[in-house]
Chains A and B, each alone.
Chain A
Amino acid sequence: MAKVKVKSLTKRYGAVTALDGVTLDAESGELISLLGPSGCGKSTTLRCVAGFLSPDSGDISVNDQSIVSTPSNRRDFGVVFQNYALFPHMTVAQNVGYGLLFRKIPKSEHGPRIENALRMVRLTGLADRLPKALSGGQQQRVALARALVIEPRLLLLDEPLANLDARLRDEVRWLIREVQQQSGTTAFYVTHDQAEAMAISDKVAVMKSGKVANFATPRDIYQRPSERYVADFTGEANFLAARVLDASAGRFRIEVAGQTLDVPGVASLKAGDTAELLLRPESLSLDMDGASPRSLFTGVVSKAAFLGASQHCEISLGTGGVLKLAAPPNTSIAAGEQVGISVALEHAWLMPEVKP
């Protein structure tokens, strides 16, 4: 059981700032995802926590004890690497048992523990194989078992699914979550895949050029993001420029595309601010009979593509701007049609305009 805090972590390489004050915390047993594009600092953060890198400043603590000067072999963290990093000259059992060699655990207990760990990742009967005789998915299970057998205080996963094909990725992803919850191990999980991050995390830290742009639950990250970058990274999004007319307790009266609306939004916004209104495609619906009284916006279909379960549409608004939305599969839509758009306003979200 470990509560982990990362505070104001910075790391510079010459003129390049890789980490610029990264702050995160994980309650005991939580899985925290670090999500972002390559170069955002998510792996650097993980490597600092693992002890493979030492930060220039900032602190990392486990159960309120700083570990920033503890060498990685004394941190008691299990690490799962993107390329598995199994020892090629050792069998599966030797790989899994490796961490036990350096702990005060009687030899007689090694066998049962190894077996147990392999059963946990659903990999039995392969204990005497060499890693090269295993598939990618099996190798990643061995890596997971190896990291868990030492009962680590913290589990660190660095893009563990990146080298697996799509079907295996789903399977191993759920396995990771299941095993992590079963063992109650606190975990940090680095990924660039937003769906992966949202599906298995208790909280997601969306990172942007060495900083945490937003740190919240998957639902909040998606529905109530702190800024446009976060909204963009977590899924399909429409943005409309807006101006705040009046603000009170997280609700805002705004002017957008020639209309006055009441929407929820980021609490720090004030009257007079310029802002951006986030409309997720699923909070929009098409009014096929042209503009109906319910329609908030009207526009012309500029693009329509049938995807099977839904249709992807882009609507050019009369007031400028384009809205993307997912229409039901059985309505017929053609480019050039005049349509109205209804908005579930309680699912709209107002964010401050962040200049790049």
Chain B
Amino acid sequence: MTDARKWQLLLGIPAVLLLFVFLIMPLAGMVEMSFRTAGSNAPYGDGFTAVHYARVLGDGFYMATLLRSLVTAAIVTLLCLIVSYPLAWHLSTARGGKALFLYACIASPLMTGVLVRNFGWMIVVAIDGPLNASLMGLGFISRPLRVMFTQGLVIMALVHVFIPFMVLPINNALRNINPALSEASLSLGASRLSTFFRVTLPLSFPGIQPGVILVFVLSVAAYVTPALLGGQMVNLMPTLIIRELTGTFAWPFGSTLAIVMSIATLSIVVAFSLLTARLMERVRA
């Protein structure tokens, strides 16, 4: 082994240690917990059983909730992509001070705490809040809309906070595209629209892929925003999991729900990566 190679391994050690202690070990604990029997007067019992998995997979309620979580995350991801792409494009053409200002604007949703941000939404969409007041003032509606505790609001709030995770990688990918490629495409007779779909969009995929994966994973796992803005009316997996873990103290069953959700998410991410692997391979410089 060369010295450089040794150093590379050595440099990886802190991260590996951190991940081992704070990710692998707790995860292993979760897996173990998911096979524990339910306890009476205790969070879990002594024996081992697979009955919780049978219950999650066999019960339509849990499967429907899982599906709702995944679909909600998919909608959030798609909306995020649609909103973020033009933004990323605009950002990728900016230079110097303007670029810096735009970066700050785009990162702004992340600059407030999750509670403050969600209470902000509550005030905005309240029955007598500014949203309803302005819509009624403009004559679009005659009586206030109930926006609070709807899936739509949860989706909107998640899109809002996850935009930076989509914009930044796409912006990066767009900046790496040689501007002469668009010119070449135009000179060969392609319209601006064709140029976008045939050249720019595929070449920005190295930014789209991580953006989509990040936002999807974060959306599936989002807890605070659905809990605060969706309340009891919008049942998503994280809400259920937390309820089991801290509400009824059914740790084994809560763990099972969490593991099932993780596996479902992971499968989708892997499938997405495999489906797009060919394109990624091609566009990688």
Asked if residues A73 and B183 are in contact (CB atoms below 8 Å), the reply is: no
Known: A50-B183, A85-B184, A88-B203. A132 touches B285 (CB 8 A): yes
Segment at the B interface, from A95-103, A176-184, A208-216, A271-279: A95-103
State whether the Cβ of A89 lies closer than 8 Å to any Cβ in chain B. yes
Bound together, the chains give a CA A94 to CA B190 distance in angstroms of: 14
Bound together, the chains give a CA A150 to CA B223 distance in angstroms of: 56
Chain B residues, Cβ within 8 Å of A113: none
Known: A81-B184, A83-B178. A89 touches B283 (CB 8 A): yes
State whether the Cβ of B233 lies closer than 8 Å to any Cβ in chain A. no
Known: A81-B180, A132-B285. A89 touches B185 (CB 8 A): no
Contact of B199 among A76, A87, A103, A147 (CB under 8 A): A87
Bound together, the chains give a CA A101 to CA B198 distance in angstroms of: 11
Contact indicator per residue, chain B 182-196, by CB within 8 Å of chain A (1) or not (0): 011111111110100
State whether the Cβ of B279 lies closer than 8 Å to any Cβ in chain A. yes
Known: A83-B178, A83-B180, A85-B180. A51 touches B187 (CB 8 A): yes
Bound together, the chains give a CA A101 to CA B199 distance in angstroms of: 13
Contact indicator per residue, chain A 64-100, by CB within 8 Å of chain B (1) or not (0): 0000000111111111010101111100000000110
State whether the Cβ of B5 lies closer than 8 Å to any Cβ in chain A. no
Asked if residues A72 and B199 are in contact (CB atoms below 8 Å), the reply is: no
Separation in Å of the B282 CB from the closest CB of chain A? 4
Separation in Å of the B202 CB from the closest CB of chain A? 5
Bound together, the chains give a CA A224 to CA B223 distance in angstroms of: 81
Asked if residues A150 and B188 are in contact (CB atoms below 8 Å), the reply is: yes
Separation in Å of the A110 CB from the closest CB of chain B? 13
Chain B residues, Cβ within 8 Å of A76: 189
State whether the Cβ of B181 lies closer than 8 Å to any Cβ in chain A. yes
Asked if residues B188 and A98 are in contact (CB atoms below 8 Å), the reply is: yes
State whether the Cβ of A146 lies closer than 8 Å to any Cβ in chain B. yes
Q: List A residues 33-85 near B (Cβ within 8 Å).
A: 50-52, 71-79, 81, 83, 85
Bound together, the chains give a CA A89 to CA B204 distance in angstroms of: 11
Asked if residues A73 and B191 are in contact (CB atoms below 8 Å), the reply is: yes
- Of all chain B residues, which has the CB nearest A78? B187
State whether the Cβ of A164 lies closer than 8 Å to any Cβ in chain B. no
Known: A85-B180, A88-B282. A73 touches B202 (CB 8 A): no
State whether the Cβ of A130 lies closer than 8 Å to any Cβ in chain B. yes
Chain A residues, Cβ within 8 Å of B190: 73, 98, 101-102
Separation in Å of the B113 CB from the closest CB of chain A? 41
Chain A residues, Cβ within 8 Å of B194: 101-102
Chain A residues, Cβ within 8 Å of B198: 98
Asked if residues B188 and A146 are in contact (CB atoms below 8 Å), the reply is: yes
Asked if residues B180 and A150 are in contact (CB atoms below 8 Å), the reply is: no
Chain B residues, Cβ within 8 Å of A150: 188-189
B interface majority secondary structure: helix
Contact indicator per residue, chain B 246-285, by CB within 8 Å of chain A (1) or not (0): 0000000000000000000000000000000001001101
Asked if residues A85 and B181 are in contact (CB atoms below 8 Å), the reply is: yes
Bound together, the chains give a CA A324 to CA B242 distance in angstroms of: 89
Asked if residues B178 and A73 are in contact (CB atoms below 8 Å), the reply is: no
- Of all chain B residues, which has the CB nearest A50? B187
Contact indicator per residue, chain A 110-134, by CB within 8 Å of chain B (1) or not (0): 0000000000000000000010100
Asked if residues B203 and A79 are in contact (CB atoms below 8 Å), the reply is: no
Bound together, the chains give a CA A285 to CA B185 distance in angstroms of: 54
Asked if residues B285 and A88 are in contact (CB atoms below 8 Å), the reply is: yes
Asked if residues B187 and A89 are in contact (CB atoms below 8 Å), the reply is: no
Asked if residues A73 and B187 are in contact (CB atoms below 8 Å), the reply is: yes
Contact indicator per residue, chain B 6-22, by CB within 8 Å of chain A (1) or not (0): 00000000000000000
Contact of A98 among B185, B202, B285 (CB under 8 A): B185
Asked if residues B186 and A87 are in contact (CB atoms below 8 Å), the reply is: no
Bound together, the chains give a CA A74 to CA B187 distance in angstroms of: 8
Asked if residues A102 and B188 are in contact (CB atoms below 8 Å), the reply is: yes
Asked if residues A87 and B187 are in contact (CB atoms below 8 Å), the reply is: no
Asked if residues B187 and A75 are in contact (CB atoms below 8 Å), the reply is: yes
Chain B residues, Cβ within 8 Å of A86: 184
Known: A99-B189, A150-B189. A130 touches B282 (CB 8 A): yes
Bound together, the chains give a CA A283 to CA B176 distance in angstroms of: 52
Separation in Å of the B132 CB from the closest CB of chain A? 47
Asked if residues B183 and A85 are in contact (CB atoms below 8 Å), the reply is: yes
Contact of B183 among A79, A88, A101, A132 (CB under 8 A): A79
Contact of A89 among B180, B192, B282 (CB under 8 A): B282
Q: Which 7 pairs from chain A and chain B are nearest by CB? A: A99-B188, A102-B189, A85-B180, A79-B187, A89-B282, A85-B184, A73-B186
**Complex A-B: 16 CB contacts under 8 Å:** A50-B187, A52-B186, A73-B187, A77-B187, A81-B183, A83-B178, A83-B180, A85-B180, A85-B181, A88-B282, A89-B203, A89-B282, A89-B283, A98-B188, A98-B190, A102-B188
